[in-house]
Amino acid sequence: MYDSSERKKIAAARALDATDQEIIEKAIDDGLTTAWDRLADQQPQCGFGALGVCCNRCAMGPCRIEPFGKKPTRGVCGADADTIVARNLLDDLATGAAAHSDHGREVVEVMLETAEGRSQGYQITDEAKLAAVAAEYGIKTGKRKKEEIAKELAHAFLEEFGTAKGKLQMAGRAPAKTQEVWKKLGIVPRGVDREIVEGMHRVHMGVDAEYTNILLHAMRVSLADGWGGSMIATECSDILFGTPKPIKTRANLGVLSKDKVNIAMHGHNPILSEMIVKAAADPALVKRATEKGAKGINLVGMCCTGNELLMRRGVPVAGTFLDQELAIATGALEAMVVDYQCIFPSLPQTASCYHTKVVTTSVKTKIPGAVFKEFRPENAYDTAKEIVTLAIDNFPNRNPARVRIPAKPIDMMAGFSEETIRKALGGTYKPLIDAIVAGKIRGVVGIVGCNNPKIKQDYGHITLARALIKRNILVVETGCAAIASGKNGLLVPEAADLAGDGLKAVCKALGIPPVLHMGSCVDNSRILVLAAHVANELGVGIGDLPVCGAAPEWYSQKAISIGTYFVSSGVYVVLGIPPKIFGSANVTTLLAAQLQGITNACFAVEPDPLKAADLLEAEINRKRAALKI
Ligand code: XCC
Ligand code: SF4
């Protein structure tokens, strides 16, 4: 057991945010085991694994390569460090691309079922976007019913997954010069599923052994994600639920309510969380909540499904990836409802210390100890009502003596879709381009990705964002990075005061924050589209723009795919957590140097966010100089 000053010290080392620290202390007090404790239990972590030189691919293994040039230098099959490291990276990347894309496919399926009248509670909401995207696919719109157009578009989207056309339609959104680079490299993405499956094929023992060839395919898989699966997820979600517009909401664990039924929605796909939002507004359920002694129903989001909800509905967000256990540790949560991705398998165990029920909803994500309520589009609304009822009926089990809710949520603004940004600028990016040419804004950095208990929660995101805006670099964000900024007060227009004079003036004139929340992780596609528009207006490639990316606290395989599609599209990316590649000098050199000569972008690894800011600024200056601005 720790005394109170020890607890404070531990909490301060684990998280940047005071409300998180408060609940970390409570969790320690309550005797919970969290990700931080489990990371400590794992020490020392396997050095072979960390360097990427461990292979467990086939039954002749597991094998590992001695990283310092001694024996063994090859696995049983004869694979060397280059092959093993590259194959492991492709495997991780393909897993991440599959996660984004399978999520995208589910949204398309709901759109199709909705268009055919087979879903319950959904509708086609954004007709303007439907028409615009349909036109890109050559689908006639005119006076046709929105359902007819949506049906045809859904089929066209599904084609992108297993297309026989030989080229992803969505990837045609990239500037010609960028596509030219892909063509030269032979990595034009052909179909979402195809690239992922081919990736799985290539990592099988005895298939691809040449690290450059493996990594080129990894780039192709990532492009099929960013310009395919993820982009389709975003576009289709906008059509179904509306394209985000600027919206105000609040963030941190203080968004939980002491007298209402608290339901946290955690995971990724808006098709579940949107329906829970709808069900929670059902008058019969609101009445039931009061009958159980609550003052109403309080919905909060977590992680990316939280981002989907706050972008479109202004639903308050309880926190990032490392807040999932803390939300339960408040003792104030009646239910945590999840779909998939980034859900700790330990949640039911954490919840068992309180009254909280963990509800799984996807056949793809079952967790021992959770309540499973299968969520299908045909009876989505009924299932959502059942889940909300389950939470309401759990309210009387809350033990007020074990509840602790931090006092103050922080105001934040979100909803900066590409369309919204373009519209705010007057329909073209010329004002942004002018500001960049004039040097008022030096460039743009996308800060994206997760938390990782290996770095103090949110410290990397916030330190980097603050350093960049001070240097007049506009920051756009998605995923848990964006939520971190929300919790830290960077997503309000007043935060412009923290920016350098040039950026500050632009933000004040437009009434926007210096850090723009652009959505969930699949919404990194919004950043790609924005970059494509700007590049097209200038007649250059994305690789020519003073635009960079950073993932200071990433943990997920999805982040590997995201980083790689940015680099493949010409955007330099700095990682705060080292990828498992350092066991191969060749792979490392290719990713951290040689790629620059090909896509005009590469990866860098820099755990110190202030030094990362220096690297990003230097890259922006390099690209500005090449543009002669
Ligand atoms: Fe997951 Fe998307 Fe990472 Fe957050 S940022 S930890 S992937 S929730 Ni996507
Ligand atoms: Fe070992 Fe080769 Fe099998 Fe990997 S694929 S486990 S290196 S034999």
Burial degree of 427 (CB within 10 A; 0-12, 13-18, 19+) = exposed
Distance CA 419, CA 107 (A): 20
C-alpha of residue 206 to centroid of ligand 2, in Å: 9
Distance CA 270, CA 236 (A): 11
Contact yes or no for 549/563 (Cβ under 8 A)? yes
Assign 349 a pLDDT band (cuts: 50, 70, 90): very high
Is the pLDDT at 166 greater than 90? The verdict is no
Question: Boundaries of CATH 1.20.1270.30 in the chain?
Answer: 81-241
Distance CA 398, CA 393 (A): 10
Distance CA 605, CA 615 (A): 10
Q: What is the pLDDT of residue 163?
A: 75
Q: Which atom of ligand 2 is nearest to the CA of 74?
A: 7
Between strands 261-266 and 410-414, the pairing is unpaired
Distance CA 246, CA 314 (A): 9
The topology under which CATH files domain 413-626 is Rossmann fold (3.40.50)
Is the pLDDT at 60 greater than 80? The verdict is yes
Domain 253-402 CATH assignment equals 3.40.250.10: no
Phi then psi for 473, rounded to 5 degrees? -110, 120
- Please list the alpha-helical segments (H only) found in 340-441: 347-351, 380-394, 418-424, 430-437
DSSP type of residue 415: -
Note if the bond before 72 is cis, omega within 30 degrees: yes
Nearest CA to ligand 2 atom 3: 58
Q: What is the pLDDT of residue 62?
A: 98
Is the pLDDT at 411 greater than 90? The verdict is yes
Phi then psi for 313, rounded to 5 degrees? -120, -10
Which one of 303, 311, 553 would you pick to mutate in the ligand 1 pocket, going by the greatest count of ligand atoms within 8 A of its CB? 303
Q: What is the mean pLDDT of residues 594-612?
A: 98
Assign 609 a pLDDT band (cuts: 50, 70, 90): very high
Distance CA 400, CA 418 (A): 44
Token pair 């032979």 in the structure block, residue: 186
Q: What is the pLDDT of residue 208?
A: 98
**Ligand with an atom nearest the CA of residue 557:** 1
What tokens appear for 307 in the block? 């981002």
Distance CA 375, CA 363 (A): 8
Return mean pLDDT, the chain: 97
57 lines ligand 2 (CB under 6 A): yes
C-alpha of residue 81 to centroid of ligand 2, in Å: 11
- Please list the alpha-helical segments (H only) found in 539-589: 557-568, 585-589
Q: What is the pLDDT of residue 69?
A: 81
342 lines ligand 1 (CB under 6 A): yes
Instruction: Give tens-digit pLDDT for 203-242.
Output: 999 999 999 999 999 999 999 999 999 999 999 999 999 9
Residue among 55, 139, 123 nearest 89 (CA): 55
Q: Which atom of ligand 1 is nearest to the CA of 451?
A: 6
Name the pTM for this structure. Answer: 0.98
How many whole angstroms from its chain centre is CA 515?
Answer: 16
Q: What is the pLDDT of residue 164?
A: 76
C-alpha of residue 95 to centroid of ligand 2, in Å: 19
Q: Which atom of ligand 2 is nearest to the CA of 206?
A: 5
Question: Boundaries of CATH 3.40.50.2030 in the chain?
Answer: 253-402, 413-626
What tokens appear for 148 in the block? 């007819």
Q: How many other C-beta atoms can be found within 10 angstroms of the C-beta atom of residue 7?
A: 18
321 lines ligand 1 (CB under 6 A): yes
C-alpha of residue 390 to centroid of ligand 1, in Å: 27
Return the H-helix or E-strand segment holding 288. helix 283-291
Instruction: Give tens-digit pLDDT for 78-102.
Output: 999 999 999 999 999 999 999 999 9
**Ligand with an atom nearest the CA of residue 78:** 2
C-alpha of residue 71 to centroid of ligand 2, in Å: 15
60 lines ligand 2 (CB under 6 A): yes
Q: Which residues contact 164 (CB under 8 A, 6 or more apart)?
A: 191
**Ligand with an atom nearest the CA of residue 481:** 1
Proportion of the chain above pLDDT 70, given as a percent: 100
DSSP type of residue 3: -
185 lines ligand 2 (CB under 6 A): no
Q: Which atom of ligand 1 is nearest to the CA of 556?
A: 7
Domain 81-241 CATH assignment equals 1.20.1270.30: yes
Phi then psi for 69, rounded to 5 degrees? 85, 0
Q: What is the mean pLDDT of residues 157-166?
A: 89
205 lines ligand 2 (CB under 6 A): yes
Contact yes or no for 106/271 (Cβ under 8 A)? yes
Assign 67 a pLDDT band (cuts: 50, 70, 90): confident
Q: How many other C-beta atoms can be found within 10 angstroms of the C-beta atom of residue 24?
A: 27
Assign 596 a pLDDT band (cuts: 50, 70, 90): very high
Distance CA 551, CA 578 (A): 11
Q: Which residues contact 361 (CB under 8 A, 6 or more apart)?
A: 272, 337, 338, 339, 372, 373, 374, 375, 383, 387
Instruction: Give tens-digit pLDDT for 240-285.
Output: 999 999 999 999 999 999 999 999 999 999 999 999 999 999 999 9
81 lines ligand 2 (CB under 6 A): no
Assign 521 a pLDDT band (cuts: 50, 70, 90): very high
560 lines ligand 1 (CB under 6 A): no
Length of the chain: 629
521 lines ligand 1 (CB under 6 A): yes
C-alpha of residue 477 to centroid of ligand 1, in Å: 12
Is the pLDDT at 289 greater than 90? The verdict is yes
58 lines ligand 2 (CB under 6 A): yes
C-alpha of residue 627 to centroid of ligand 2, in Å: 47
36 lines ligand 1 (CB under 6 A): no
| One-character DSSP codes across 446-511 | EE-----TTS-BTHHHHHHHHHHHHTTEEEEE-HHHHHHHHHTT-SSGGGGGGS-HHHHHHHHHHT
Residue among 218, 92, 85 nearest 583 (CA): 85
Q: What is the pLDDT of residue 1?
A: 73
Instruction: Identify residue 606 by its one-letter amino acid code.
Output: E
Distance CA 7, CA 606 (A): 29
74 lines ligand 2 (CB under 6 A): no
Which one of 54, 55, 88 would you pick to mutate in the ligand 2 pocket, going by the greatest count of ligand atoms within 8 A of its CB? 55
Q: How many other C-beta atoms can be found within 10 angstroms of the C-beta atom of residue 206?
A: 9
Q: What is the pLDDT of residue 553?
A: 98
Q: What is the pLDDT of residue 320?
A: 98
